[in-house]
Amino acid sequence: MNVHSSKYKCTECGKCFQSKQALAVHRRSHSGEKPFECTVCSKRFARSSHLVTHSRIHSGEKPYKCQMCDKTFSRSDHLITHMRVHTGDKPYKCSLCNKSFSRSDTLQKHKRCVHSNRRPYDCRWCGKLFKSSRDLKHHVYTHTGAKPYSCRHCSERFTQYGQLKTHLLKSHNEGTWFTCHICGKKFTLSGDLKVHIRRHEGVKPYVCCECPKSFCTAGDLKHHRSVHSDFKPFCCGSCGKYFKRKQYVPVHFKRCADRTGFFDLMSGQ
Over residues 202-253, the pLDDT tens digits come to 988 888 878 888 888 888 887 787 788 777 777 776 677 777 677 777 777 7
pLDDT exceeds cutoff 60 at 262: no
Choose among 220, 254, 223: nearest CA to 237.
254
pLDDT of residue 260: 59
- Cβ 162 vs Cβ 189: under 8 Å: yes
> Does the pLDDT at position 158 exceed 80?
yes
| Predicted confidence (pLDDT) at residue 114 exceeds the cutoff of 60 | yes
Q: State the pLDDT confidence band at 5, using cuts at 50, 70 and 90.
A: very low
Nearest-angstrom CA–CA distance, 95 and 107 = 10
The set of residues, in sequence order, having a beta carbon less than 8 Å from that of 139 and lying 6+ positions away, is 123, 128, 130
Distance CA(39)–CA(59), nearest Å, equals 12
Q: For position 1, what pLDDT does the model report?
A: 42
pLDDT at 155 over 90: yes
> Is residue 264's pLDDT more than 60?
no
21-76 tens-digit pLDDT: 888 888 888 888 888 888 888 888 888 888 888 888 788 888 889 988 878 888 88
How confident is the prediction for the chain on average, in pLDDT?
A: 82
3-state secondary structure of 184: coil
How remote is the C-alpha of 73 from its chain's centroid?
22
